[in-house]
Amino acid sequence: MKFGVVVFPGSNCDLDAYHTVKDVMNQQVEYLWHKEKDLKGTDCVILPGGFTYGDYLRPGAIASLSPVVESIIKFAREGGLVLGICNGFQVLTEADLLPGALYLNLSLQFRCVFTHLLVENSQTPYTKLAGNKVLKIPVAHGDGNYYADPETLKRLEKENRIVFRYCTPEGEITRESNPNGSLANIAGICNEEGNVLGMMPHPERAGEEILGSSDGKIIFDSILEFWGEKR
């Protein structure tokens, strides 16, 4: 399976996503430069974390207008797998591939901590192997406070599109386990078809035990499993 990692000016976690796919998952991977529209035949596009365009205007806002995103929108509409992590999630909401917005953290401070995620939907290509699990995956962001209007939230709930919620290590959804004040402890959501996932936590930072957790690997394993079945 071939992955593409997008590089915008100010992407920081492009290297981490690239490394995890290549060295931990042993899959093909290529960088996709923001000015180019060619997705180079990738099967799954990763929009990595970072501070694209320095977060100027709004996080993800300027990046969402770049040529590569134009192609990604088309790719997603055709059912292609698109995973947006952290700033990548912000790009996806700005590009209208996912609903809602990511506000400044309730603490008004950046947060870099390990969080626990309850997998609420294990039917997506990203969570097939994560059924009923609590995943230990870190967050690192200043704007991860997910918000959507009440109607959208209702729809997300009804269509089972809230994929991850912050929880305690035991899987309880509590206020204390939420690092940013997001609505309903939302940590990640998907589109209607389930092929586009946006999440604030960084699975690529939790791919190896030496980094404190390998739970992030379950997400990449799921993608491979899904791809294997599809073919």
CB distance 120 to 190 below 8 Å: no
E strands within 133-215? Answer: 134-141, 145-147, 162-167, 186-190, 196-199
**Cα–Cα distance measured from residue 101 to residue 114, given in angstroms and rounded to the nearest whole number:** 22
Beta strands at 145-147 and 101-103: parallel, antiparallel or unpaired: antiparallel
Edge to edge, what strands does the sheet with 2-7 contain? 28-33, 2-7, 44-47, 81-85, 196-199, 186-190, 162-167, 111-119, 134-141
Q: Binders of other proteins among 102-141, rule CB under 8 A? A: 109-113, 138, 140
Task: Name the residue nearer to other proteins (CB basis): 32 or 162.
Answer: 32
Q: Determine, following the binding rule CB under 8 A, whether residue 204 of this chain makes contact with other proteins.
A: yes
- Shortest Å, Cβ 147 to other proteins: 22
- Min separation Cβ 152 and other proteins, Å: 29
Binding flags for other proteins, 16-55, as an x/- string (CB under 8 A): x--xx----------------------------xxx-xxx
Q: Which residues pair with 82 in a beta bridge?
A: 45, 196
By CB under 8 A, the count of residues binding other proteins is 30
Chain positions contacting other proteins, by CB under 8 A: 9-10, 12-13, 15-16, 19-20, 49-51, 53-56, 109-113, 138, 140, 142, 202, 204-205, 207, 210-212
Residues carrying an active site annotation: 86, 202, 204
